[in-house]
Structure 1
């Protein structure tokens, strides 16, 4: 059957003119297309792209279209105008939910819950598919170490192993196991290939420069994991890799992605990235940009017209072999065939079913559950959980805000968001009182706002400050050099502190923050991130103890922005801080701040207390054929049931190239009742000890290792073993 489908696609290619083939490689936004609301007019900014009506009629895909009836209208009109009746692919950024919005991916990472992550992608796919979407530009699996970069909110953190596990989970959720028959799924597009998260200075679109070994060791594994799970598409990154912009990078795309990894799916540029090869200084003009991109294997050019205007001429001049265009078209047609679009070009788009499926109660329940699991309790000096009978002052710019969805939630609606005020009200007893005041805005305040807040705080038993970033302060192009809370919010904390009432801070933000002016002033801090549609309910569940915090950080919180990039799996130096034989001055340390982050990777508190004991190895030797077991006894010594994320790290004591001080190798989530104990077991194999050597070969070295087990990357019990080969 696959052979027949392949033959059919080749038949289409043989019938197509060169211009029709090239048009398949063009992705245009909704306004270009007849049938869309206000669409079909190539005027204004659209006209500046130089796209002809004929190119639109033969175009291969649409960017940013969602809504069952509009998709049907556009597809129907397109098929009426397309000579060969080749359907359009509808693509959109469905990053952390369609209409039911889940927490931002960085928050989902902090859940350490692969099952719920997969479920969130499955629900997003179901809502998107019934609304006419065929492809989502997700997941983003870029490894991130610099919280100044606004797009950290799209990643699941700083660890290559954990990012890889989440990449697999998201792909399973979006695509399922059979895209052809399962119409509730969509094709996934992993992004941004490659190393976009390492932009210098945390500045979006900036240069990336690193060794190939560093690239392979830390930045490539999550992309590879997504492809191993069957991801259908890859998106190029905006940045350079080894001096060459990714979108025209032959070694990266042709050699590594296509030849070494064997990827034969669609490679698409990010928005405008082909033409941006000129700005990079990698192409002299649009013709050269088209040449470099097609040579690198970019199948679809998104929202610029270098291919449309210049590929035909490049073929005629024999500077580009037409076979490169044919292979790109074949990949595009193959995905359309896999999605069943030739048999049913509307696929799952169904206006009636759309009303039943999208934003249904069952989906919202999962959003709430995942938001609960994603929040991280950063501090608690006996203030939480709150009591239903308490008089509570809820103060801050997020007290009554519906800005809880976060970036990349374009199909979500703030009107549907459960605000924190409403979530808390549902928890209070009839005798309790909730006093609500803004206190200040996100970045500015009035004296009247403070007076209102002061009156509320004076009358309350406890103050809950709802603080954070506006959603526009993170996300794409949301880079910030100052990652502290805005000064007006820090001033609000200082004023509240003077009232000598217990203070709980709830943070809504898209990145790890510098918590100066927050951490030491507050009695409790709950990191809620951007928690999504059910955010107010989820946060209230945690504040009142109806749910027990279980989130754990997947990105370190810096002590100061001057440390960044700061991450747990760093290399040691020849003069590490605290070396016994070194003078205090001449070790690798700052003179004014600690080396360590304020809050490390893996950190998170609970209303339960967990005790680790009896950590041991089944053997002190490991071989290629014989793994070892790492066990530890975990006991809930608290008064409430809770979930603990037990983490296993390894260090290679000496290697051909230096190795990180710790590397996450596995984790287990364990739920225990008060007083209950459980032996947690990990199986550690030789394969998990492999790394990229100086010659870029991937293997392990015999010698000494340390295993670390504990609740986070800093608080661990160390065990020693050797690898014998």
Structure 2
């Protein structure tokens, strides 16, 4: 079992157990002794200062308000501290002029790369590759570390089932198990197996605790209602997996959960995170998420905010000023117990000690830095390749390029700032290798390029006619379509999720001219593609692929490498199906098979009273776990070690995967389970295991999964683990809609 799986496989389904989270590489005694030694020197004002995070500015200079806060002991962390020169100055001021010489923890949104940008997290999730995800986080952390950053606000492990929501781009998709596995891989990539002082390691942050991805209507910062049963079974498991992987910090969400804001939610922050899960790192708010409780109608003023968040054991306030302004008076009045402040400060110091910040002297970027090195770019290219998902292929790919001309069309063919995607704050745009440049370098004058539209959101069609004419001598046209980077990310939700602007008109014009169209979609979310799906010969979903997107696309389009990505999120046919996800609860009147495949947009007469739409098929456009490749694979009928088990026993499921095609490729073998009858209604399918297998033509490999109490149990509404006897259907296949199954029986559970 790899080092990520060992944290996740047995524990992700058992969050109510009090487990050691392996947070620190140093012994607990050693860490606690250092923490107490530092803590005992602090006045109340200086303790509160450790609980404050302020934002600085870009550039080499340190603003005076930051200098003043440091000298007066009013800050414990800085967000966006500026260039390495500024960070070196900051830490020097701390060491020489702050009251207790406590290093600042420097935070930055290092989400999917630092200077070397990897695909957006949703794209990384499409790789279904734990090792690559871990490597990507490791490289991002190393590059950030070299520039003085020691804390990132990643991974974002919100379960995301609404593609209208802009921050789905930053998520790992819709599934708790996949998100738990890959989120834990990111934590290990940033921190190592434990939070430590190892060079190149930075603290990770599990965010947003909790339910941010369930925001109503897909609008950012909106209200969230999650039944307790769903909270325990869907939204909490990825965070418990991150904790078990050793994550150093948690971040609260902007939203409320069932009427109580996350930043004042005692049930989540005290009862679950601290009391049950025994988390001993620290919790930070999101940007002004505490003060925003006033606008949410939960707090009357900043004094209220400080009282409510401190009482919920929120340790550090990001940017807003309620702790700074009111926490001292709340302690002195007895409204906030001094022990709450003491515990918060010790939590913060514990992370600083574990990171070795007291023993480090940052002096700027080291001479041997690997920022944007060839090795880092090569890993970014590997991830970009494995993130690509082939949705459709009518024998258009791979594209065999001889001496004929090839058309490249679209405003996103050469748009480096869009290619890196959202949350790429430190991307070096002139280092981004675009598809157009990459194809031109490989094929020179054979490439005929026309932009087609001024930009991806333009509704002006004046360039379309000239674009079609430019393709007169071209048979095969690669169209690069999709979204600008700014259309996804925080605060960037969309009510319509089709191709923006006049992109559909551009594709239709090329199709009317008889071109073979390979559609490459760069986007931060699933888009609805029914309007153009039948007009194109192939669809390759590239997400926002990062620095090395161009070379990755060249290799896959030309067949040097076979695509192997699988969807981490369900693609709807139309926005009216949203939210749509594979693990929904079955209706008492299931969808009528006679109404499957009905045309989109025109209501038909109903066939019975069932769980259908009248004007669109109930099925998705593309299912969770789906993705084509250039070769073919067979997966044998599953072999079970036995079909009956009792509590405490495990069974194994074995399949043989064979590459039956003519090209090398990779297949993702997926294991799903359905609890046939339970005391709570259970999902139609739940992912419980996966393995990505790389095979040469004719090569085969056996894949084995283990099924036991961890896979068969679930939570009740109070977070108690239930393991109930009965029948379970076990599914194995290569997509959530392409599975074979067998029934097993769990007998005695006393």
The change in CA–CA distance for 1:93 and 1:574 in structure 2 (over 3 A counts) is same
Indicate whether 1:699 and 2:722 are aligned.
yes
Indicate whether 1:319 and 2:335 are aligned.
yes
Find 1:362's aligned residue among 351, 372, 375.
375
Indicate whether 1:718 and 2:748 are aligned.
no
Indicate whether 1:251 and 2:267 are aligned.
yes
Q: CA deviation at 1:676?
A: 3.2
Is 714-723 or 101-110 further displaced after alignment? 714-723
Contact 1:650 1:662 in 2 (8 A): yes
Q: How many residues end up aligned between the 2 structures?
A: 709
Q: Which residue of 2 aligns with 1:40?
A: 63
Q: After superposition, what is the alpha-carbon deviation per residue over 1:261-301, rounded to whole angstroms, capped at 9, x for unaligned?
A: 11111100000011011111111000000110111111110
Indicate whether 1:169 and 2:185 are aligned.
yes
Q: Which residue of 2 aligns with 1:385?
A: 398
Q: CA deviation at 1:423?
A: 1.9
Distance (whole Å) between structure 1 residues aligned to residue 62 and residue 655 of structure 2: 62
Q: CA deviation at 1:591?
A: 0.6
Q: After superposition, what is the alpha-carbon deviation per residue over 1:490-549, rounded to whole angstroms, capped at 9, x for unaligned?
A: 111111110111100000000011112222211100000000100111011110001100
Contact 2:520 2:542 in 1 (8 A): yes
Contact 1:399 1:437 in 2 (8 A): no
Indicate whether 1:460 and 2:477 are aligned.
no
Find 1:353's aligned residue among 367, 386, 398.
367
Q: Which residue of 2 aligns with 1:639?
A: 662
Q: Which residue of 1 aligns with 2:163?
A: 147
Q: CA deviation at 1:2?
A: 4.6
Q: Which residue of 1 aligns with 2:678?
A: 655
Local SS of the residue matching 1:238: coil
Q: Which residue of 1 aligns with 2:410?
A: 396
Q: Which residue of 2 aligns with 1:95?
A: 111
Is 715-724 or 190-199 further displaced after alignment? 715-724
Gaps of 5+ in 2: 1-26, 595-605
Q: Which residue of 2 aligns with 1:437?
A: 450
Q: After superposition, what is the alpha-carbon deviation per residue over 1:654-686, rounded to whole angstroms, capped at 9, x for unaligned?
A: 110111111111112122222333343322223
Q: Which residue of 2 aligns with 1:414?
A: 429
Indicate whether 1:493 and 2:507 are aligned.
yes
Contact 1:130 1:353 in 2 (8 A): no
Distance (whole Å) between structure 2 residues aligned to residue 4 and residue 659 of structure 1: 46
Contact 2:197 2:357 in 1 (8 A): no
Indicate whether 1:203 and 2:219 are aligned.
yes
Indicate whether 1:301 and 2:327 are aligned.
no
Q: After superposition, what is the alpha-carbon deviation per residue over 1:384-437, rounded to whole angstroms, capped at 9, x for unaligned?
A: 111232311100111121121111110112211101112222443x7x710011
Q: After superposition, what is the alpha-carbon deviation per residue over 1:351-397, rounded to whole angstroms, capped at 9, x for unaligned?
A: 2336x321111000000000000010000000111123231110011
Local SS of the residue matching 1:28: strand
Distance (whole Å) between structure 2 residues aligned to residue 625 and residue 53 of structure 1: 56
Contact 2:461 2:502 in 1 (8 A): no
Contact 1:55 1:308 in 2 (8 A): no
Distance (whole Å) between structure 2 residues aligned to residue 678 and residue 180 of structure 1: 38
Local SS of the residue matching 2:531: coil
Indicate whether 1:29 and 2:55 are aligned.
yes
Distance (whole Å) between structure 2 residues aligned to residue 223 and residue 541 of structure 1: 36
Q: Which residue of 2 aligns with 1:231?
A: 247
Indicate whether 1:216 and 2:242 are aligned.
no
Q: CA deviation at 1:17?
A: 2.2
User: Where do residues 681-692 of structure 1 align in structure 2 (5 Å cutoff)?
Assistant: 681-692=704-715
Contact 1:624 1:687 in 2 (8 A): no
Local SS of the residue matching 1:27: strand
Q: Which residue of 1 aligns with 2:628?
A: 605
Q: After superposition, what is the alpha-carbon deviation per residue over 1:586-624, rounded to whole angstroms, capped at 9, x for unaligned?
A: 001101111111100000000001223333433221222
Distance (whole Å) between structure 1 residues aligned to residue 71 and residue 612 of structure 2: 59
Q: CA deviation at 1:694?
A: 4.9
Find 2:542's aligned residue among 508, 518, 528.
528
Distance (whole Å) between structure 2 residues aligned to residue 279 and residue 378 of structure 1: 43
Q: CA deviation at 1:201?
A: 0.7
Indicate whether 1:676 and 2:704 are aligned.
no
Q: After superposition, what is the alpha-carbon deviation per residue over 1:606-643, rounded to whole angstroms, capped at 9, x for unaligned?
A: 00012233334332212224322323333322221111
Q: Which residue of 2 aligns with 1:506?
A: 520
Q: Which residue of 2 aligns with 1:79?
A: 95
Distance (whole Å) between structure 1 residues aligned to residue 673 and residue 693 of structure 2: 20
Q: CA deviation at 1:52?
A: 7.0
Q: Which residue of 2 aligns with 1:664?
A: 687
Q: CA deviation at 1:255?
A: 0.9
Q: CA deviation at 1:178?
A: 4.9
Q: Which residue of 1 aligns with 2:131?
A: 115
The change in CA–CA distance for 1:341 and 1:444 in structure 2 (over 3 A counts) is same
Q: Which residue of 2 aligns with 1:573?
A: 587
Contact 2:53 2:317 in 1 (8 A): yes
Find 2:565's aligned residue among 544, 551, 561.
551
Distance (whole Å) between structure 2 residues aligned to residue 270 and residue 625 of structure 1: 41
Contact 1:656 1:694 in 2 (8 A): no
Q: After superposition, what is the alpha-carbon deviation per residue over 1:333-359, rounded to whole angstroms, capped at 9, x for unaligned?
A: 22211122222242xx542336x3211
